[in-house]
């Protein structure tokens, strides 16, 4: 019996009449890609050993960013390159969350709001990093957009890791003046102010798509009300090693909002899956209609051309000189060139390397299958 996968659910659902009503073009394209992953629709490739023995024909992967079954190599490649980039020093993990009252605006303005969210996080951290009371230096920052909760509701937030220290104006590595990197409540207030100010500017310029049944003055009133409420900005326990930071972030980079291992049952019109509850700390089960399940997954599909990861400070592409200054002072080598992980290296890293069924040599070649006309 074949394992239950998101790909199979989508393929079955797409075979029906009008299966995905009201979805954006990029969502339709993404679901089409996902449904074809590792099927004959994408063609195939053969695997060989050094002696030229054929060891099977395999269907190709879709390589879509949200695919839960074919992003392992891409995720591992990103992780290795991040480990080569970031400083081997303690890092602070901060989570900036957009209030649920803005979820309807997010659905209609994802590109705009994701830019506002990223820039507000960056500018907030820069303001406190530049402050002589806290650091007065430029740290390294990596921010990752995450739009879902564990049972797949819409929950836009950004995970940011910031180095415990930075390069000051004199080119010296300095560490924070206090035990805590930055004060939580002032950070929350500055972040809240920057998001709301940016949204109000865009609203005034007519750049915000307002949901049906809502007027601009009502949106403005909601923003004013949110300016008087506390937002969720959570300071997690500090990571003392860079490796732990990188591994945590890698989970959110590729593979989308859903893991095939969560699926438990798929019957006509119904999906049952499990998730680890934040509230109960236990594995919970949730039953949704197929349409509800697909709708939940669709709202987390990334838009084309919009990166889900952004780098700032010493980790920005223009900060290599100062980053290497920091690395030298911390006794680390300069940043190494980026690498591209091949499937052979990936399998080796997992402790599994397939060998030829005929001669026992490792498989080293994967060549495309050419269809006869």
pLDDT of residue 189: 98
Q: Answer yes or no: are the C-beta atoms of 191 and 182 closer than 8 Å.
A: no
Rounded distance between C-alpha atoms, residue 237 and residue 21, angstroms = 43
Q: Contact at 8 Å (CB) between 291 and 116?
A: no
pLDDT given at position 18: 62
pLDDT at 169 over 70: yes
* Higher per-residue confidence, 17 vs 371: 17
In a domain, 373, yes or no: no
In a domain, 341, yes or no: no
Residue 292 belongs to some domain of the structure: no
217 and 78 in one domain?
yes
Same domain, 210 and 306: yes
Over residues 325-370, the pLDDT tens digits come to 999 999 999 999 999 888 778 888 788 878 899 999 888 867 676 5
Q: Is residue 87 over pLDDT 80?
A: yes
Alpha helices per DSSP H over the chain: 6-14, 25-36, 72-85, 103-108, 110-130, 184-204, 216-226, 242-250, 290-298, 320-329, 343-349
- Tell me the per-residue pLDDT of 41-84, one tens digit each, with 9 for 90 and over: 999 988 888 898 988 888 999 999 999 999 889 999 999 999 99
Give the residue among 89, 141, 80 at the shortest CA–CA distance from 330.
89
Q: What is the pLDDT at residue 179?
A: 79
Q: Clarify whether residues 128 and 42 are in a common domain.
A: no
Is residue 82 within 8 Å of 246, Cβ to Cβ? yes
Confidence of residue 1 (pLDDT cuts 50, 70, 90): very low
CATH code, 202: 3.40.1310
- 185 and 132 together in one domain: yes
Q: In this predicted structure, what is the pLDDT of residue 341?
A: 85
Residue 312: pLDDT band (50, 70, 90) is very high
Percent share of the chain, pLDDT over 90: 62
Please give the average per-residue pLDDT across 191-208, as a whole number.
97
Is the residue at 338 inside a domain?
Answer: no
From residue 208, alpha-carbon distances to 123, 198, 199, 248 in Å are 21, 11, 8, 33
Span 104-130, average pLDDT:
96
Number of H helices, E strands in the chain: 11, 13
Residue 373 has pLDDT above 50, yes or no: no
| Residue of 186 and 244 predicted with greater confidence | 186
Residues 204 and 77 in one domain: yes
Q: Identify the residue whose tokens are 């929350």.
A: 188
- Please tell me the number of Cα atoms within 13 Å of 339 on its side-chain side: 18
Q: How confident is the model at residue 279 (pLDDT cuts 50, 70, 90)?
A: confident
Predicted pLDDT at 248: 80
Say yes or no: 184 and 251 in one domain.
Answer: yes
pLDDT, residue 206, reads 94
Quick one: 57 and 196 in the same domain?
no
Residues 93 and 144 in one domain: yes
3-state helix, strand, coil in the chain (%, to 5): 40, 20, 40
Tell me whether residue 111 is in a domain: yes
- Predicted structure pTM score: 0.91
* Domain housing 115: 73-257+300-329
- Give the pLDDT score at 370: 54
* Number of structural domains found in the chain: 2
Residue 131 within a domain: yes
Is there a single domain that holds both residue 60 and residue 87?
no
SS3 string, 117-167, reads: HHHHHHHHHHHHHHCCCCCCCECEEEEEEEEECCCCCEEEEEEEEEECCEE
Q: Give CA–CA dist 355/353, Å, rounded.
A: 6
Length of the chain: 373
Mean pLDDT within 105-113: 95
Q: How confident is the model at residue 234 (pLDDT cuts 50, 70, 90)?
A: very high
Q: Is residue 290 part of a domain?
A: no
Residue 244, pLDDT > 90, answer: no
């Amino acid at each position: 019996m074949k394992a239950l996968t998101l790909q199979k659910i989508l393929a079955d659902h797409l075979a029906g009449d009008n299966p995905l009503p009201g979805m954006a073009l990029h969502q339709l394209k993404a679901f089409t890609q996902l449904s074809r992953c590792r099927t004959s629709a994408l063609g195939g490739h053969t695997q060989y050993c050094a002696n030229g023995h054929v060891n099977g024909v395999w269907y190709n992967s879709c390589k879509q960013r949200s695919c839960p079954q074919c992003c392992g190599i891409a995720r591992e490649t990103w992780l290795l390159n991040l480990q080569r980039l970031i400083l081997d020093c303690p890092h602070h993990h901060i989570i900036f969350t957009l209030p649920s009252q803005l979820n309807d605006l997010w659905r209609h303005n994802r590109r705009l709001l994701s830019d506002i969210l990223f820039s507000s996080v960056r500018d907030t951290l820069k303001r406190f990093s530049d402050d002589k009371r806290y650091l007065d230096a430029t740290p390294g920052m990596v921010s990752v957009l995450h739009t879902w909760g564990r049972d797949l509701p819409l929950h836009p937030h950004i995970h940011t890791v910031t180095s415990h220290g930075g390069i000051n104006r004199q080119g010296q590595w300095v560490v924070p003046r206090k035990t805590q990197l930055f004060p939580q409540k002032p950070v929350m207030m500055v972040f809240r102010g920057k998001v709301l100010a940016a949204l109000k500017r865009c609203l005034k310029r007519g750049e915000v798509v307002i949901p049906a049944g809502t007027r601009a003055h009502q949106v403005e009133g909601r923003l004013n009300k949110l300016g008087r409420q506390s937002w969720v900005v959570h300071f997690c326990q500090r990571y003392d090693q860079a490796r732990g930071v990188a591994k945590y972030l890698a989970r959110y980079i590729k593979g989308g909002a859903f893991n095939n291992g969560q699926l438990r049952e798929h019957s006509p019109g119904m999906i049952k899956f499990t998730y680890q509850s934040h509230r109960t700390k236990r594995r919970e089960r949730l039953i949704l209609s197929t349409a509800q399940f697909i709708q939940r997954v669709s709202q987390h599909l990334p838009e084309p051309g919009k990166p889900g990861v952004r780098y700032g400070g010493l980790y920005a592409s223009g900060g290599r000189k100062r980053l290497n200054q920091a690395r030298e002072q911390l006794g680390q080598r300069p940043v190494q060139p980026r690498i591209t992980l091949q499937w052979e290296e990936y399998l080796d890293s997992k402790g599994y390397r397939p060998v030829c069924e005929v001669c026992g040599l490792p498989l080293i070649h994967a060549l495309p299958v050419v269809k006869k006309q």
